[in-house]
Amino acid sequence: MRLGEFDALSFDCYGTLIDWEQGILAELKAWAAPAGLADDAILETFGAEESRCEAATPDKSYPGVLADVYRALGRRWGLPVNEVAPIAFGGSVGRWPAFPDSADALAYLKEHYRLVILSNVDRVSFMRSNAKLQVQFDLVLTAQDIGSYKPDRRNFDRLLAEVGALGVEKPRLLHVAQSLFHDIAPARALGLSTVWVNRRRGKPGGGATPPASGDATPDLEVASLAELAERHRAGTA
C-alpha cells in the first residue's frame, strides 16, 4: 500500500485525533478514587460499558449514552451517583484534549487529501472538538446522523455512500483510526484499506477500547498522526 494511491482519508476522532483516554480520566478519576482503581481499570470498564450502551440504544445521542455509562459505572464500582453528575459527564466531550500532533498533521494532510470524519458522537460534541483540531473537514458523519454506533456496518456503508457522492471510489479511500474494535475490523470486513494509529503502543491492554472481533489487521500501523504525515512527506509508505 502506498499513501499516494488515495484521494481521501476518513478518520475516527476520539482516540485517534482527540485524546479521549486523558479526557475520560480527567472526568472520572476523582469520583472513582474511593474504589481504588488504576487508570487502565477505569478505562477498560468504561470501554466495556460504553460499547454495551451503544449497542443497546443505538438511537440515543452520545451525551445520553455517556450519562448511562456513568450510572452503570457507579453500579459496578459501588459509588454514589447523583442526578447531575451523569449529565455533566455526558457533556464532557468538548473538554477532552486533542493529541499534541493532531492539528499540525491534519493541516499537512489537508493539502493532499479530502478529509472525512466518521465518529461515534453527536454533532454538537464534535463541533467543540473540531475547534481544537483547527481544520475544516470535507465531510463529517456522526452516530447522530446515521442512527447507529460503530462497529455497526451501517456506519461504514453510510461512509462509502457519502464519500462516493463526493466522487471518491472505495479503493481511493483510506480509513485511519486508533480502535481495532470500532474501526479497523469493520472497515477491513468491507474491503477498505486501513491505517491503525496505535496511540497505546508500548502500553499493556486496550485501554478504553474493547478487544476487536474478526480480522483487525491494518494495512499500515503508525504510533501517531505525526508519523503518518511524515511517512507521506518522505514517501516511505
For 153-169, write each residue's pLDDT tens digit.
999 999 999 999 999 99
- pLDDT tens per residue, range 96-112: 999 999 999 999 999 99
CA distance 120 to 129: 13
Q: For 99, which DSSP code?
A: P
Say which of 12, 68, 152, 183 is annotated catalytic: 12
**pTM, 2 dp:** 0.96
193-197, strands of its sheet edge to edge: 139-142, 114-119, 8-11, 173-177, 193-197, 220-222
Is residue 12 part of the annotated active site? The answer reads yes
Partner residues linked to 116 by β-bridges: 10, 139
- pLDDT tens per residue, range 169-181: 999 999 999 999 9
Helix (H) or strand (E) holding 97: none
What are the structural domains, with CATH classification, of the chain? 3-19+96-234 (3.40.50.1000), 21-95 (1.10.150.750)
- pLDDT tens per residue, range 46-67: 999 999 999 999 999 999 999 9
Residues 6+ apart with CB under 8 A from 169: none
